[in-house]
């Protein structure tokens, strides 16, 4: 068996990193390496399997394929397993364990398949010698794995035995530790390597049992992760070459380089965690490469250096803290520490993504990962070049607070009424206040996290005061209002997002306000949606359109839906969840199209044959649909243009009052004969052109689309149903 067919698994989502690691590890012998679903396939000699088990930092298990066969039923499975000569792989008195995974097959139970496979193996030995292997679940001599998918089975030896993340050094842990190979994958993802270790210093300020620091030190010193591991299932394999294995281990020992200059720091607020981490580092033989310290994150200090600091952290997710509030403050402390350590950058795995905004750092990338039972995000933040201090919180005086009594009463009244309405109707995001009192001209929206329902955000949008209002008085009032919102609803400053809503035209309508790149996940009906409360004037979810989106959800089953000026795609998501057979989202903004695509992916609406995202000038698209390969007709079209736009990317300006009749007429050419076009606008004082009502069947449904939280401001939008009536209209 010189040419082994190997299948290597690793942490989910890191198959590409594993593939590149194996290619580098195996060199020329990795020519047959191929990334497949769930792992990497490699063809190679016995030393390839040994090198992976010894050197791979990312692998979980190494399977050596023995056979593939049909296994549609119990008899077929038993017969096929019996045809393998098991005496080539184990002896009659060896210990044995069998694991099974089954999917989309007539045989449906993992345990039953494992049992039948074991029976076939032991029966073969009993018939030949009168003796049989014994079953041993913990570190058996031979571990067999069988996978059945669509009634086709692959049976393999698990050469690693235990998962390779068990290096052998971590005999104690605190809290919820990372698996060692996941920690190594995250370090690799963040750019830590033997080479970069000479340019970066690494800090884990919440080190727990020390996994990040230990894995980083082993990478820097070129210590093979399997060198101190005692158990491998291949050691009892009858094809095992003990001399070859020992030669490879000796080569690995000789390759260790402890002379490289490294700066690796690990600290924790828990003194007992530090002692555990030190003991683990000693077993990994890297204790001399790591500087351990007992420090609070908020007060953490490091020696001066000319290197950039890479901060790698796996914050506690609640088990080592007594409250969510304590965890939130810990995130804020971490953000301030990273700023203080500049030049620095942060990479972290978090089970509390709703707290990431507390860091106050610009987020670059995010990647879903699984840490044991927890769904987490691995997030990397941009470089912090200069230390800075967060702005101080402005507090209003008692005199200013006295004038807030009418506003306080109104906010309390609104919240009491709307909370009751929201609970009854399963609404978790709504408008709480909208300039109800003329002297307090702002809108206040409430958002509840879907991931952590106890977490709430408030979005305050100040309306620009007219020139007749004293600017200083307006500033005093709005600052007092911000204070009241924080005090009344017990909102930490970082969860109240404040904007000035002035008249916006052209490119400024959707201009970016900040660069936080922080998205929160909220729920609306059947949909999960992403909002951004810091970077744009609007959140990415027009709350007043909630009833319209509910209607789209109800009426999209089996229909083709065209979502024009799609913004962040919430209409498209509701259409997809409502069973639409096709959804086309169109917008000129690449930023919003990407956001729309993420919203669809969040709801598992990813089939490219059903969900499309088209970047186009919609006026141009409606003028020449064939140019954009549009379908000849759609069952449902949603049209919600901006009130005005002169974007540089558009060929002409758009004024909705001036241009809506032409826009509607062109959209109607794409509407099926029995289809429905929903037209909406937020333009105040808008009047629908009489020509539209003459040419089509039009019904004003504005009142029916104003939800309870907008009853106080019913002019928030206007909306019409438009259908074909048989009359032609010249655009």
Supply the DSSP string of 493-534, one letter for each residue: GGGEEEEEE----GGGGG-B-------EEEEETTEEEEE-SS
pLDDT at residue 484 above 80? yes
Which of 206, 213, 209, 204 lies closest to 296, judged by CA? Answer: 206
The pLDDT confidence band at residue 516, using thresholds 50, 70 and 90, is low
Query: What pLDDT is attached to residue 515?
Result: 52
Select from 594, 602, 720 the least CA-distant residue to 660.
720
Residue 252 and residue 478: Cα distance in Å, rounded? Answer: 66
pLDDT digits (tens, 9 = 90+) for 320-362: 433 444 687 899 899 999 999 999 999 999 988 778 878 888 7
Query: Which pLDDT score, from 0 to 100, does residue 322 have?
Result: 37
Is the model's pLDDT at 124 over the cut of 60? Answer: yes
The pLDDT of 136-159, averaged and rounded, is 95
Span 440-444, average pLDDT: 92
Place of tokens 């020449």: 624
Q: How far is Cα 342 from Cα 365, in angstroms, rounded to an integer? A: 20
Confidence band of 519 (pLDDT split at 50, 70, 90): confident
CA 656 to chain CA centroid, nearest Å: 37
245 DSSP 8-state letter: H
Give the Cα separation of 265 and 170 in Å (integer): 18
How far is Cα 3 from Cα 21, in angstroms, rounded to an integer? Answer: 20
pLDDT at 174: 65
Beta bridge partners of 563: 585, 638
Q: What is the total residue count of the chain?
A: 731
pLDDT-derived band of residue 385, with 50, 70 and 90 as boundaries?
confident
pLDDT the model gives residue 386:
63
What's the rounded Cα separation, in Å, for the pair 643 and 640? 9
Most confident of 160-174, 232-246, 490-504: 232-246
Q: Give the pLDDT of residue 455.
A: 86
- What was the pLDDT predicted at 652? 67
Asked if pLDDT for residue 231 goes beyond 70, the answer is yes
The first and second tokens of residue 715, run together, are 């002019």
- Give the per-residue pLDDT at 383: 84
Asked if the model's pLDDT at residue 131 lies above 80, the reply is: yes
Question: The tokens of 600 are what?
Answer: 């669809």
Q: Exposed, middle or buried: residue 116 (CB in 10 Å: 0-12, 13-18, 19+)?
A: buried
CA dist., res. 286 & res. 457, Å (int): 44
Tokens representing 703? 């009142």
Query: Reduced to 3 states, what is the DSSP secondary structure of residue 591?
Result: helix
Please give the pLDDT value at position 394: 40
Three-state SS for 304?
A: coil
For residues 191-199, give the mean pLDDT: 93
pLDDT exceeds cutoff 60 at 508:
no
What secondary structure letter does DSSP report for 177? P
With H, G, I as helix, E, B as strand and everything else as coil, classify residue 382. Answer: coil
pLDDT (0 to 100) of residue 2: 66
Percent residues over pLDDT 70 in the chain: 90
3-state SS assignment for residue 181: helix
- What confidence tier does 395 reach under pLDDT thresholds 50, 70, 90? very low
CA dist., res. 571 & res. 515, Å (int)? 26
Identify the pLDDT of residue 728.
Answer: 44
**Number of CB atoms found within 10 A of residue 59's CB:** 27
pLDDT in tens, 61-113: 999 999 999 999 999 999 999 999 999 999 999 999 999 999 999 999 999 99
- Count of alpha carbons within 13 angstroms of residue 41, beta-carbon side: 9
Closest CA to 281 of 221, 234, 351: 221
Rounded-to-integer distance, Cα 101 and Cα 222, Å: 35
How does DSSP classify residue 706?
-
Sign of the C-alpha dihedral computed for residues 488, 492, 497 and 498 taken in this order: positive
Q: CB under 8 Å to 443, separation ≥6 — which residues?
A: 431, 433, 434, 435, 460, 461, 463, 501
CA distances from 528 to 9, 280, 428, 597, 614 (A): 31, 41, 11, 13, 22
Contacts of residues 353-356 at CB distance under 8 Å and 24 or more positions apart, as own/partner, are: 353/377, 353/379, 353/451, 353/521, 354/449, 354/451, 354/452, 354/455, 354/520, 354/521, 355/327, 355/328, 355/331, 355/455, 356/331, 356/518
Rounded-to-integer distance, Cα 665 and Cα 730, Å: 8
- pLDDT category at 486 given cuts 50, 70, 90 is confident
Q: Tell me if 207 sits within 8 A of 267, measured CB to CB.
A: yes
Per-residue pLDDT at 55 exceeds 90: yes
Instruction: Determine contact, residues 455/449, Cβ cutoff 8 Å.
Output: yes
Neighbours of 600 (CB within 10 A): 23
pLDDT of residue 261: 66
Exposure pattern of 37-47 as b/e (b: 16+ CB <10 Å)? eebbbbbbebb
Give strand pairing partners of 204: 266
Q: Report the distance separating Cα 667 and Cα 193, nearest Å.
A: 55
pLDDT category at 404 given cuts 50, 70, 90 is: confident
Sequence-distant (≥ 6) Cβ neighbours of residue 297 within 8 angstroms: 205, 206, 269, 330, 333, 334, 337
* Beta strand spans in 262-399 (E): 264-268, 291-294, 308-313, 344-350, 363-371, 374-381
Q: What is the mean pLDDT of residues 634-659?
A: 81
pLDDT tens for 571-618 read: 999 999 999 999 999 999 999 999 999 999 999 999 999 999 999 999
Tokens, residue 344 = 């620095």
Beta strands 456-463 and 442-448: pairing type?
A: antiparallel
């Amino acid at each position: 068996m010189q040419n082994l067919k190997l299948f290597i698994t690793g942490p989910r989502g890191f198959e590409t990193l594993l593939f590149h690691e194996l290619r580098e590890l195996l060199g020329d012998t990795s020519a047959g390496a191929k990334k497949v679903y769930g792992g990497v396939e490699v063809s190679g000699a016995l030393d390839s399997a040994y090198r992976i088990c010894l050197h791979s930092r990312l692998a979980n298990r190494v399977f050596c394929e023995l056979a593939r066969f049909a296994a549609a039923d119990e008899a077929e499975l038993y017969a096929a397993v019996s045809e393998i000569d098991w005496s080539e792989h184990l002896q009659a008195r060896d210990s044995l364990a069998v694991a099974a995974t089954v999917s989309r097959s007539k045989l449906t139970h993992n345990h039953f398949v494992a049992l039948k496979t074991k029976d076939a193996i032991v029966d073969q030995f009993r018939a030949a010698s009168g003796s049989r292997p014994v079953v041993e679940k913990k570190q058996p001599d031979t571990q067999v794995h069988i996978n059945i998918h669509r009634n086709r089975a692959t049976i393999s030896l698990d050469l690693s035995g235990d998962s390779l993340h068990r290096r052998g050094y971590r005999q104690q842990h605190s809290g919820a530790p990372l698996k060692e190979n996941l920690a190594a994958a995250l370090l690799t993802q963040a750019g830590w390597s033997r080479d970069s270790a000479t340019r970066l210093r690494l800090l884990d300020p919440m080190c727990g049992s020390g996994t990040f620091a230990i894995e980083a030190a082993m990478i820097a010193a070129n210590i093979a992760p399997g060198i101190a591991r005692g158990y491998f299932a291949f050691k009892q394999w009858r094809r095992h070459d003990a001399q070859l294995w020992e030669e490879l281990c000796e080569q690995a020992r000789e390759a260790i380089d402890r002379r490289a200059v490294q700066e690796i720091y690990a600290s924790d607020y828990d003194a007992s965690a530090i002692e555990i981490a030190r003991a683990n580092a000693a077993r990994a033989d890297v204790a001399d490469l790591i500087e351990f310290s007992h420090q609070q994150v908020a007060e953490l200090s490091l020696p001066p250096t000319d290197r950039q600091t890479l901060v790698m952290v796996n914050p506690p997710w609640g088990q080592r803290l007594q409250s969510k509030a304590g965890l939130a403050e810990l995130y804020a402390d971490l953000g301030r520490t990273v700023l203080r350590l500049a030049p620095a950058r942060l990479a972290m795995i978090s089970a509390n993504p709703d707290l990431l905004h507390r860091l106050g750092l610009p987020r670059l990338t995010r990647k879903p990962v699984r840490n044991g039972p927890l769904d987490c995000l691995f997030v990397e933040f941009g470089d912090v070049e200069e230390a800075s201090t967060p702005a101080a919180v402005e507090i209003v005086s008692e005199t200013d607070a006295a004038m807030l009594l009418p506003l306080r009463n109104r906010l309390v009244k609104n919240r009491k009424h709307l909370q009751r309405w929201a609970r009854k109707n399963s609404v978790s995001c709504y408008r709480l206040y909208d300039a109800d009192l003329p002297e307090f001209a702002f809108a206040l929206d409430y958002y509840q996290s879907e991931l952590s329902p106890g977490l709430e955000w408030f979005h305050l949008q100040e309306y620009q005061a007219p020139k007749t209002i004293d600017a200083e008085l307006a500033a005093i009032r709005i600052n007092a209002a911000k204070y009241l919102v924080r005090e009344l609803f017990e909102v930490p400053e970082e969860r109240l997002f404040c904007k000035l809503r002035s008249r916006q035209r052209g490119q400024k309508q959707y201009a970016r306000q900040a660069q936080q790149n922080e998205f929160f996940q909220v729920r609306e009906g059947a949909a999960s949606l992403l909002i951004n409360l810091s970077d744009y004037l609007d959140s990415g979810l027009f709350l007043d359109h909630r009833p319209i989106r509910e209607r789209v959800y109800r009426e999209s089953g089996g229909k083709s839906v065209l979502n024009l000026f799609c913004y962040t795609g919430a209409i498209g998501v509701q259409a997809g969840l409502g069973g639409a057979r096709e959804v086309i989202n169109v917008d000129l903004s690449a930023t919003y199209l990407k956001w729309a695509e993420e919203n669809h992916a969040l709801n598992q609406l990813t089939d490219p044959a059903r969900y499309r995202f088209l970047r186009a000038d919609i006026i141009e698209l409606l003028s020449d649909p064939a140019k954009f390969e549009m379908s000849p007709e759609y069952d449902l079209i949603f049209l919600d243009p901006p009130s005005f736009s002169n974007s540089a990317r558009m060929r002409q300006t758009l004024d909705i009052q001036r241009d809506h009749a032409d826009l509607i007429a062109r959209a109607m050419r794409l509407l099926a004969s029995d289809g429905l076009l929903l037209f909406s606008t937020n333009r105040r004082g808008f009047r629908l052109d009489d020509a539209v009502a003459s040419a089509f069947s039009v019904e004003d449904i504005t009142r029916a689309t104003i939800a309870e939280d907008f009853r106080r401001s019913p002019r928030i939008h206007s909306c019409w149903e438009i259908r074909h009536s048989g009359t032609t209209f010249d655009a």
